[in-house]
Amino acid sequence: MKKKFVPTLLFYLLVLIIALIVLFPFLWMLTSSFKTQVDIISWPPKLFFEPTLQNYRKVFEEQDFLKYFLNSTVVGAVAVGMSLLLGLPAAYSISRYAQTKLAVFILLARLMPGISFLMPWYIIFSRLGLIDSYVALILSHMLIALPIVVWIMSTYFSTIPRELEESAMVDGATRQMAFLKIILPLSGPGIITATTLSFIFSWNNFMFSQVLSMERTKTLPIAVYNFLSYAEVDWGGVMAAAVAIMAPAIILTMIFQKYVVKGLTMGAVKG
> Quick one: 163 or 232, whose CB is closer to other proteins?
163
- Start-to-end C-alpha separation, the chain: 42
13-21, 97-105, 163-171, 240-248 -> range binding other proteins (CB under 8 A): 163-171
Q: How far is the CB of 186 from other proteins (least distance, A)?
A: 6
Nearest to 266 by CA among 153, 143, 108: 153
Q: What is the dihedral of CA 120, 222, 248, 258, to 10 degrees?
A: 40
Q: How far is the CB of 188 from other proteins (least distance, A)?
A: 9
Residue 236 CB coordination number (10 Å): 25
Give the C-alpha separation, 91 to 87, whole Å. Answer: 6
> Quick one: 170 or 264, whose CB is closer to other proteins?
170
Residues 164-193 close enough to bind other proteins by CB under 8 A = 164, 166-174, 177, 181-182, 185-186
User: What residues contact 33, with CB distance under 8 A and at least 6 apart?
Assistant: 55, 56, 236, 239, 240, 242, 243
> Quick one: 19 or 164, whose CB is closer to other proteins?
164
Q: How far is the CB of 263 from other proteins (least distance, A)?
A: 20
**Is 159 an interacting residue with respect to other proteins (CB under 8 A)?**
no
Burial 239-261 (b: 16+ CB within 10 A, else e): bbbbbbbbebbeebeeebeebbe
> Quick one: 189 or 248, whose CB is closer to other proteins?
189
> Residues 4, 21, 113, 163: which binds other proteins (CB under 8 A)?
163
Could you list the residues that contact other proteins (CB under 8 A)? 161, 163-164, 166-174, 177, 181-182, 185-186
